[in-house]
Amino acid sequence: MSPWMNIVAIAGLTVVSVVTRGFFMIPDREVPIPPWLREALRYAPLAALVAVILPEIAMTGDHLIDTWKDARIYATVVGILVFVTTRSLLGTILAGTAVLLALRLSIGW
Amino acid sequence: MTSPTPLWRHPEFAVGARETRDVALGIGAWGLVAGIAMSKAGLGPVFAIAMSLCVFAGSAQLAALPLMVQGAPLWVIWATAFCVNLRFVIFSAGWRPYFQSLSRSRRLFLAYFTVDFTYIAFMRRFPTPGDVRAQTAYVAGNVSVGWLAWQTMTVLGVVLADVIPERWGLGFAGSLALLGITASLLVDRATWIAAAVAACAALAAFALPFHLNVVVAIAAAMAVGVLLDHLAPDRKAPA
């Protein structure tokens, strides 16, 4: 992306922050939310996150990881284990990053 | 709305500020990690800091960054951030009865600064709508401390990351953060199935241009989720 496109993207993301956080405060009158939309909204953040992180943690280029010598596999597994046992977001990040760094810097995975 | 005393001298401002101070360490640590990850995503420190100061939404930023670096179309970047921020849309319905007496510009200005913790702490302090001045002061106190803790540590993270070599792969901390948030959303059978559907759809549609696979995954998971709620209700699932 060019610098100008980055500026436009960031400006738009700022608008997204205002619009999402203020969404139902925008109209002056009451707005009814259809029940099916309320149900569907529950799944959207989950799906967006899964689709965005999948290539980052489990893919190389355009295919799934096909080697065991990739530090991301072990960092992800440790991260998941820490989250399941402690429910701590910070612990998940720190433990996963520690594993990634250890493997990258020692044996170059 | 005129008032004899400024907002920051209202007693509720101090209450909001104090409650946020108690969790500032957590906010700051997460800001530091997000700053390091944002800097390492490949946009460079200037844009990373500008983004943090303007957008002020950690998980949406971390989700948008890889798409920006890879040159995805603007609407896909914005739609992804919108979806990651959807919880705020639901929170905003909760804010509405408290602040509806304010002007629209004031409502939106206030809303822009409210993060997850603001909502949780506010609803604990004010279970029912009441004195709008006190409520506004509380939110102002809460978000002032939170904003400062978050932004200071994010900028520090970006600056620190700039001196750490690229091959360490610290940008992965951002993916780990999103992974943890994703895991926290897997609360029942329906959300697990929706996540699996999203993963399969994102992979199957990976060859689509413009990162449309993200949009396909969201649509597929929403459709399957609603279908599951109606065809095979999970008795243990919260309504």
> Which residues of chain B are within 8 Å of residue A4 when distances are taken between CB atoms?
none
Least confident of B83-92, B135-144, B162-171, B188-197: B162-171
Is the pLDDT score of A48 beyond 50?
A: yes
- Type of residue at A46: L
Token pair in block for residue B227? 């279908």
Instruction: Name the more confident of B170 and B64.
Output: B64
Alpha-carbon span B26 to B44, nearest angstrom: 25
What is residue B4's predicted lDDT score, i.e. its pLDDT? 65
Residue B180 CA: distances (Å) to CA of B19, B86, B117: 25, 17, 17
Domain boundaries, given as residue ranges, for chain A: 67-109
* C-alpha closest to that of B76 among B227, B203, B211: B211
Residue B223 CA: distances (Å) to CA of A43, B191, B193, B208: 9, 12, 11, 20
Alpha-carbon span A63 to A50, nearest angstrom: 16
> pLDDT band at residue A84, thresholds of 50, 70 and 90?
very high
Summarize the confidence of residues A69-82 as an average pLDDT.
93
Residue B144 CA: distances (Å) to CA of A66, B113, B165: 47, 9, 34
Is the pLDDT score of B238 beyond 60?
A: no
CB pair distance less than 8 Å for B88 and A20:
yes
Which of helix, strand or coil describes residue B206?
Answer: coil
CB pair distance less than 8 Å for A46 and B182:
yes
Is the pLDDT score of B176 beyond 80?
A: yes
In tens, the pLDDT along B12-45 reads 999 999 988 877 877 887 788 889 888 888 888 8
Domain boundaries, given as residue ranges, for chain B: 7-166, 186-231
Least confident of B6-10, B74-78, B83-87, B207-211: B207-211
* C-alpha closest to that of B107 among B84, B136, B86: B136
Residues of A (18-77) whose Cβ lies below 8 Å from B:
18-26, 28, 33, 36, 39-57, 59, 62, 64, 71-72, 75-76
Q: Which residue among B89, B178, B194 places its CB closest to the CB of A20?
A: B89
> pLDDT band at residue B58, thresholds of 50, 70 and 90?
confident
Q: Which residue among A25, A51, A64 places its CB closest to the CB of B108?
A: A25
Is the pLDDT score of A88 beyond 90?
A: no
CB pair distance less than 8 Å for A96 and B61:
no
Alpha-carbon span B239 to B235, nearest angstrom: 9
Which of helix, strand or coil describes residue A5?
Answer: helix
Q: Which residue among B81, B197, B226 places its CB closest to the CB of A13?
A: B81
> pLDDT band at residue B234, thresholds of 50, 70 and 90?
low
- Percentage of chain B modeled with pLDDT above 90: 48
CA B25 to chain centre: 18
> Which residues of chain B are within 8 Å of residue A21 when distances are taken between CB atoms?
85, 88, 91-92, 111-112, 114
Token pair in block for residue A5? 């496109």
Summarize the confidence of residues B3-16 as an average pLDDT.
87
Which runs of consecutive H residues, i.e. helices, occur in B70-211?
74-84, 86-99, 104-113, 116-125, 132-161, 172-185, 189-204
Q: What is the mean pLDDT of chain B?
A: 88
* C-alpha closest to that of B43 among B174, B217, B176: B174
> Which residues of chain B are within 8 Å of residue A12 when distances are taken between CB atoms?
74, 77-78
> pLDDT band at residue A85, thresholds of 50, 70 and 90?
very high
What is residue B24's predicted lDDT score, i.e. its pLDDT? 82
The top-scoring range by mean pLDDT among A44-53, A72-81, B174-183 is A72-81
Is the pLDDT score of B77 beyond 90?
A: yes
Residues of B (81-140) whose Cβ lies below 8 Å from A:
81-93, 95-96, 99-100, 104, 107-108, 111-112, 114
Block residue for tokens 């080697």: A67
> pLDDT band at residue B239, thresholds of 50, 70 and 90?
very low
Buried b (16+ CB within 10 A) or exposed e, A37-62: eebbbbbbbbbbbbbbbbbbbbbeee
